[in-house]
Amino acid sequence: MSDLYAVIGNPIGHTKSPLIHGLFAEETRQDLSYTAIEGPQEPQGAFAETVRAFIANGGKGMNVTAPFKLQAFAMADERSERAELAGAVNAMKFEGGRIIAENFDGIGLVRDIEVNLGFPMAGKRVLMLGAGGAARGALLPFLAAGPQEMVIVNRDVEKAKALAARIEGRGPLLACAYGDLEAMGRFDLVVNATSASLTGELPSVPPSVFSPEGAAYELAYGKRLTPFLRLARNAGVRIIADGVGMLVEQAAEAFDWWRGVRPETRTAIDRLTVPLD
């Protein structure tokens, strides 16, 4: 029997994970089955039961998407430092009766920016909008890439400050309010890690933060030119991208973690890319 993997979320109909992992399995000739499971939102504990039933059936690993990333975190026996800091889990491995948990979102994002977009972060000024789960997941991998300076900005500035305080000493990180940005000059890379684009909103970021020679990255994907990316384009930013590459790269990290072989990602990215305008 093929090894069993799945993505769990609710809703799950829109998920691209089975397609991505199917392409990876074909390319690397791995014998596995990867399905999508709609997890139960209630009653309490039903999510964990579904995961345990999957393990009992021989499941080897799972990807976790909204709204279960926190519940997956809570039920894990072991968590990576990245998952600890994000407070959220997007991949699990089941081994010897234990649930080992990871968060590859941030590492996938860094890989997409550095490898696929050809934009190394070392020595760059980086601005991250938002201090929610998505931003938290990205912070350690971003700092590991060696930026000259990294600024996180959030409407609720205390949340950004608390986050910066949690990883003090790990890199040149500063938290501030949107109102401070005008005075902070240009950034080489601006990443929108807020959930504003999901509702068509624009974080109140001034166009002066963008640098024409730089890059702007929107974590949401498949939304075409969001208000954030439009602002960046109008400011003349050279590289603009949405999160489709991050989605595929985090999947590749999980695949490698589970199977010990790294798939190529270009085919899946090309299949899933939606033109920005």
Residues 120-179 that bind ligand ATR (CB under 6 A): 130-135, 154-156, 159
194 binds ligand ATR (CB under 6 A): yes
Instruction: Give dist(CA 115, CA 121) in Å, integer.
Output: 10
Residues 201-220 that bind ligand ATR (CB under 6 A): 201, 203
On whether 81 is known to bind a ligand per the annotation, the reply is: yes
Taking the complex as a whole, the smallest distance from the CB of residue 113 to ligand ATR amounts, in Å, to: 18
On whether 137 is known to bind a ligand per the annotation, the reply is: no
Cβ(227)–Cβ(200) below 8 Å: yes
Percent helix / strand / coil, the chain, rounded to 5: 40, 20, 40
- Distant-in-sequence, close-in-space partners of 158: CB < 8 Å, separation ≥ 6: none
Q: Which is nearer to ligand ATR, 197 or 265 (CB)?
A: 197
Taking the complex as a whole, the smallest distance from the CB of residue 98 to ligand ATR amounts, in Å, to: 26
Instruction: Give dist(CA 205, CA 129) in Å, integer.
Output: 8
How many helices (DSSP H) and strands (DSSP E) are in the chain?
A: 10, 12
Residues 11-30 that bind ligand ATR (CB under 6 A): none
On whether 250 is known to bind a ligand per the annotation, the reply is: yes
Three-state SS annotation for 80-113: CHHHHHHCCCCEEEEECCEEEEECCHHHHHHHHH
Taking the complex as a whole, the smallest distance from the CB of residue 197 to ligand ATR amounts, in Å, to: 9
Q: Which is nearer to ligand ATR, 55 or 231 (CB)?
A: 231
On whether 130 is known to bind a ligand per the annotation, the reply is: yes
230 binds ligand ATR (CB under 6 A): no
Instruction: Give dist(CA 192, CA 141) in Å, integer.
Output: 16
Cβ(244)–Cβ(252) below 8 Å: no
Q: Which residue is nearest to ligand ATR (CB)?
A: 132
Tell me, yes or no, if 159 is annotated catalytic. no
On whether 144 is known to bind a ligand per the annotation, the reply is: no
Q: Which of 60, 69, 93, 124 is catalytic?
A: 69
Phi, psi of 68 (to 5 degrees): -105, 5
Interacting residue ranges for ligand ATR, rule: CB under 6 A = 130-135, 154-156, 159, 194-196, 201, 203
Active site members = 69
Which amino acids are annotated as binding site for NADP(+), given as ranges?
81, 130-134, 219, 243
